[in-house]
A and B are shown apart, each in its own frame.
Chain A
Amino acid sequence: QQQVKQSPQSLIVQKGGISIINCAYENTAFDYFPWYQQFPGKGPALLIAIRPDVSEKKEGRFTISFNKSAKQFSLHIMDSQPGDSATYFCAASMAGNQFYFGTGTSLTVIP
Chain B
Amino acid sequence: GAVVSQHPSWVICKSGTSVKIECRSLDFQATTMFWYRQFPKQSLMLMATSNEGSKATYEQGVEKDKFLINHASLTLSTLTVTSAHPEDSSFYICSAETSGIAYEQFFGPGTRLTVL
Contacts and interface: CB of A to CB of B under 8 A. Distances in A.
Interface of A: 32, 34, 36, 41-46, 49, 51, 89, 91, 93, 95-96, 98-99, 101-104, 106
A45 B43 contact: no
Interface of B: 1, 4, 6, 32, 34, 41-44, 46, 49, 91, 93, 95, 101-110, 112
Contacts of B104: 32, 34, 46, 49
A25 B32 CA distance: 23
A95 B109 contact: no
B109 A42 contact: yes
Given A41-B110, A41-B112, A96-B32, A102 B43 contact: yes
Nearest to B105: A99
Contacts, number: 53
B55 to A, nearest CB: 16
A89 B105 CA distance: 13
A89 B32 contact: no
Given A42-B110, A43-B6, A98 B103 contact: no
Contacts of B110: 41-43
A104 B43 contact: yes
Given A32-B103, A95-B101, A96-B32, A44 B44 contact: yes
Nearest to A99: B105
A88 to B, nearest CB: 11
Contact of A44 (B42, B101, B107): B107
Nearest to A94: B103
25 contacts: A32-B103, A34-B105, A36-B107, A41-B110, A42-B109, A43-B4, A43-B107, A43-B108, A43-B109, A44-B44, A45-B1, A46-B104, A46-B105, A46-B107, A49-B104, A51-B102, A89-B43, A89-B44, A95-B103, A98-B34, A101-B43, A101-B44, A103-B43, A104-B42, A104-B43
A25 B40 CA distance: 24
A6 B51 CA distance: 29
Nearest to B2: A46
B10 to A, nearest CB: 9
A44 B34 contact: no
